[in-house]
Amino acid sequence: MSEIALTMLGTGSPRPDIERSGPAQVLTIDGTHILIDCGEGTSTQLLKAGIPLESINHLWITHLHSDHLFGYAQFLIGGQGNGRRELTIVGPKGIKKYHQRILELYEEDLNYRLSLGRSPKGLLDVNIIEIIESGEIKTDIPAYVTCAEMVHNVKTFGYRFYIEDKVVVISGDTAPTPNIVELARGANLLVLDSALTTTSVYTKGGNKEFSKVFENLKKKHCTPVQCGQIAQEAEVKTLVLTHFLPEADGEEAFAETSSVFAGEVIVPKDLQKIKVD
Ligand SMILES: [Zn+2]
Ligand SMILES: [Zn+2]
């Protein structure tokens, strides 16, 4: 039996938050780590979680929004400096160009580092798999994986990892869609975008601009109640909410989700490790 765990490195959003780092999580299958998204602070969160950066050879990106990629340059360059010599990245079309641009931005810096005698492996030879459409994804991680397109404003893929008889699903950012219900069908663990909590920085204080933004975000993300409805319809065992804005009320989100979902609800703190058994 494989040992499976999910570590919530960052449960935050694009808005900087002292309590919640940028979106990122690690799926660990018998010691193989798969980093999913790479928001601000991912490298230091990995260190705090006791996961050496150089032990990560697999990075999966759900979509190319800044909050899911702010930590990439640090992870790429810092992790290679720590000794990583292999990296495979899976993500939507455009991830190759993004990686290439990071290398170009830091060209002088990287030339300097390599001139010190450092190997270019794990930095200049990154293997990148771009996903074009929903379906099966062939990689060498110890899981069978399928993906489906979510509803956001850029191409976003949710991932379904089959590990023996267990299923872990990561939604990425999404508004409610039949695709996430299908992707999450019968999952042991579903991590779902719950950005639109009833209480958060966008709903407190009567700021008109924030209220307008919040209204528009309803087409791009889920409320806790919508998360619960999706999990209930998909007959998921455990639902993990994430992507919280500053001042989100976690207890309220838990209560709202639990009112429509009969399974287990987790409103995680950063670095919380969730075992799948
Ligand atoms: Zn997004
Ligand atoms: Zn996001």
**Confidence at residue 265, expressed as pLDDT on a 0 to 100 scale:** 98
User: How many Å lie between the centroid of ligand 2 and the Cα of residue 173?
Assistant: 6
Q: pLDDT at residue 63 above 90? A: yes
**Mind listing the pLDDT tens digit for each residue in 182-228?**
999 999 999 999 999 999 999 988 889 998 999 999 999 999 999 99
Q: Which ligand is nearest to the CA of 23?
A: 2
Q: What is the pLDDT confidence band of residue 79, given thresholds at 50, 70 and 90?
A: very high
**Confidence at residue 206, expressed as pLDDT on a 0 to 100 scale:** 83
Q: Which ligand is nearest to the CA of 70?
A: 2
**Confidence at residue 147, expressed as pLDDT on a 0 to 100 scale:** 98
Q: Which ligand is nearest to the CA of 14?
A: 2
With beta carbons less than 8 A apart as the criterion, state whether 72 and 22 touch: no
Q: Which residues pair with 158 in a beta bridge?
A: 148
User: How many Å lie between the centroid of ligand 1 and the Cα of residue 125?
Assistant: 28
User: How many Å lie between the centroid of ligand 2 and the Cα of residue 23?
Assistant: 7
With beta carbons less than 8 A apart as the criterion, state whether 240 and 16 touch: no
CATH for 4-276 is 3.60.15.10
Sequence spans of domains, the chain? 4-276
Which residue is it, tokens 């005698």?
117
With beta carbons less than 8 A apart as the criterion, state whether 201 and 247 touch: yes
Q: From residue 2, how far is each of 75, 190, 213, 273 by CA, in Å?
A: 27, 18, 43, 16
Average pLDDT over residues 129-153: 97
Average pLDDT value for the chain: 97
